Amino acid sequence: MPNEIFIFEATAKSFPTIVVENSKKIPAIVEFMSVSSKPCFIVEGIFTSLAREFASKRDYYHLSSAC
């Protein structure tokens, strides 16, 4: 059975509360992503694979940026 993937969405406003506070309990990996960047979409597959492999050991977050 594959591991469930939980990749949380974060914003600049929610970052201190969601990411910083939760990272005190479990390590957080943040993907800073721009919808207009092709490399971001390439990295997203790797990010999703890591989220699946280490689902219970780390929290994963997407943070969209306007690049």
pLDDT of residue 46: 86
Tell me the mean pLDDT in the region 4-17: 87
pLDDT of residue 1: 43
Which tens digit of pLDDT belongs to each residue from 22-47?
A: 999 989 988 888 878 888 778 888 88
Which tens digit of pLDDT belongs to each residue from 44-67?
A: 888 888 888 888 888 888 888 764
CA 45/CA 16 separation, integer angstroms: 26
CA 55/CA 47 separation, integer angstroms: 11
* Buried residues in 2-15 as b, exposed as e (16+ CB within 10 A): eeeeebbebeeeee
> Does the domain spanning 7-64 belong to CATH 3.40.30.10?
yes
Tell me the mean pLDDT in the region 2-24: 86
Domain boundaries, the chain: 7-64
* Buried residues in 20-40 as b, exposed as e (16+ CB within 10 A): eeeeeeeebebbebeeeeeeb
